[in-house]
A and B are shown apart, each in its own frame.
Chain A
Amino acid sequence: MMARPIGGGITAQEVVDRIKKSIGVEWKPETVDGFKAGDPTTVITGIATTSLATLSVLDRAVKAGANLIITCEPTFYSRADLPTPPARRGFGPGAAQSNQPATPPPPDPVFSGKDEFIKKHNLVVFRLSDHWRLRTPDPFAPGLADMLGWSKFAGTGDPKHVEIPETSLDALVAHVKTSLKARGGMRIVGNPQQRIRKVAFLPGSTPIQASIETLPGVDAIVAGEMREWETVEYVRDTVALGGKKSLILVGRVVSEDPGMHACAQWLETIVPEAKSMSISAGDPYWRPTA
């Protein structure tokens, strides 16, 4: 079934050209951003942004009349982001340098099921991660602040920082959980009774360097994903050594959702011919209640 073009019949490629022209940063030669599935010459019926283009997100996009999906994270389950499963990594010394082609992987019903769904519904998937993050300010932190109802607490300085009315870590965690519709993905380090005013956002996935730079100036960091042998242990040690600090991990995908919601709002301004919406991938995790 061909979707009906609306407005002037703009194609996915034309939308991407406008993104590149308007995003405010030089397009990088090496980037994860680009078309991941579908035909760029497809005339678009609507645009859906998301942090993660799961099949459920794609299905909701189809039902809402969108056929161009702008996703922050991969569609096909790896950085390579190809519609066929990755070849198994070689083993032993020199495997990575070996000229032997990797054994072709067997067909995978999840990869092919998703690929078929995209083809059947004439969808086009474009990944927008590196360049969206490079904007000034990086939209992911203000997006989170907005989703938490804290835009009014952002100062004139670093947009990653907000100063909120004093609360406890416990109360803050409850507020974050409700605002971001978290299920089982949240994990906290710190004393639940700790008082909090200054909060910094580190959405996505960030290394220890970002935390070392950020934690001394704030009471709490609200972050996406951090390595457990890096920031998690750093905050645990800081707390054990008397530092009144805390860390709220919400998960990478959940932390990027608000920034992709902001992306849909921005797309409305540069592609007025088409409807832009954001579709949340949700919190992938749950936990037993034993």
Chain B
Amino acid sequence: MSTLTAGEIVARIKSNLGFPWRDATYRDTFKFGGPDTVVKGIATTMFCSYDAIRRAHIAGCNMIIPHEDTYWSDRDDVSIVSGDPAYKLKVDFMREHDIVVFRIHDHMHAQKPDFTWVGLARALGLDSKLETAPQSHRFTLPETTLGELATRIQKRFAEQGINDKAIRVVGDPGTKVSRLQLGVGYASPAINDPNVDVVVSGEQQETDGFLDSPEYVLDAATLGIAKGWIMLGHNVSEEQGMQEMAEWIKKFTPEIPVQLVRSGEPFWVPK
């Protein structure tokens, strides 16, 4: 039986990154447990949800490597939530089952390549041959309509067992689109780039931001300018790359099993 500890695994992550660890990160730290825990198995996940932790535990994993927060704020500020019953139950479960949580966010996005983009492009079937330049995340597709593209994306996810029923689209469904700009997470690219017809991304605030894409696309449609905006949801947009993250970690932790445990789509939608 392996005696590999969480601290040793984090050390291997740091030494395999290919660039120095940035100690200033508040994100990429232990969120529960610490370096001394002996690890039986590793589960990567997107959101460190209670249900993902529970399923990881059932699958024999006691180290969780999530991309996002554990305690419902980016800084995992426990002072906001420590009085809440769900916080207490979540922490109790982790303590009882010897769980250790280490987040990988900033360093994942700094990696070359950044697996979040790799995973999403793979899941969407966006071939790198269609990419305008390496790491541009911009793809030239055979011309289609916004409506057809959105339907195709949702079907493609469904074929892989990925629920993206809460996908949201802005724009005229009949608009012709070809130049697709991919985005992940909350860093949705601006839709007003003249070389972009459609942005496919995760999450973005609706208004009062740097560029409010929904209103921009609505007005573009009124003016007859071809623009479309497809929001997949934060989880779906970045979860796919946690598969690549699991495969990467597996290469330097051969002693123990590593797998993706999906947090999955949080939403359902009305008929």
- Interface residues, chain A, with chain B CB atoms under 8 Å away: 32, 52, 54-56, 59, 73-74, 77-79, 85-86, 89, 106, 108-111, 113-114, 173-174, 177, 182, 184-189, 192, 205, 208-209, 212, 216, 224-225, 227-234, 236-238, 240-243, 249, 251-253, 281, 284-288, 290
Closest residue on chain A to residue B149 by CB atoms: A288
Interface of A is mostly: mixed
B169 and A230 contact, CB distance less than 8 A: no
B49 and A288 contact, CB distance less than 8 A: no
List A contacts of B84 (CB < 8 A).
212, 216, 234
A-B contact pairs, 10 of them (CB 8 A): A74-B212, A77-B192, A173-B270, A224-B206, A225-B206, A228-B266, A237-B49, A243-B86, A253-B207, A287-B168
Give which listed residue, B147, B192, B207, B220, contacts A288 with CB less than 8 A: B147
Q: How large is the interface on B (under 10, 10 to 19, 20 to 34, 35 or more residues)?
A: 35 or more
> Is B158 in contact with chain A by the CB < 8 A criterion?
yes
A236 and B215 contact, CB distance less than 8 A: no
Which residue, of B83, B147, B211, B266, has the highest number of chain A Cβ atoms within 10 A? B266
B207 and A52 contact, CB distance less than 8 A: yes
List B contacts of A59 (CB < 8 A).
222
Q: Which of B31-39, B68-76, B133-141 contacts A (4 or more CB under 8 A)?
A: B68-76
**With contacts A79-B208, A228-B234, A288-B150 known, is A55 near B222, CB below 8 A?**
yes
B209 and A78 contact, CB distance less than 8 A: yes
B270 and A110 contact, CB distance less than 8 A: no
**With contacts A74-B208, A110-B219 known, is A287 near B72, CB below 8 A?**
no
Query: Residues 4-33 of chain B: 1 if any A CB is under 8 Å from the residue's CB, otherwise 0?
Result: 000000000000000000000000000000
Not counting A108-B192, A184-B269, a sample of 19 additional A-B residue pairs whose C-beta atoms are within 8 angstroms of each other reads A54-B222, A73-B208, A74-B208, A110-B216, A113-B219, A184-B169, A209-B80, A225-B205, A229-B68, A233-B68, A240-B49, A240-B50, A253-B206, A284-B218, A287-B150, A287-B168, A288-B147, A288-B151, A290-B151
Closest residue on chain B to residue A242 by CB atoms: B89
Q: How far is the CA of A59 from the CA of B49 in the complex (A)?
A: 45
List A contacts of B50 (CB < 8 A).
236-237, 240-241
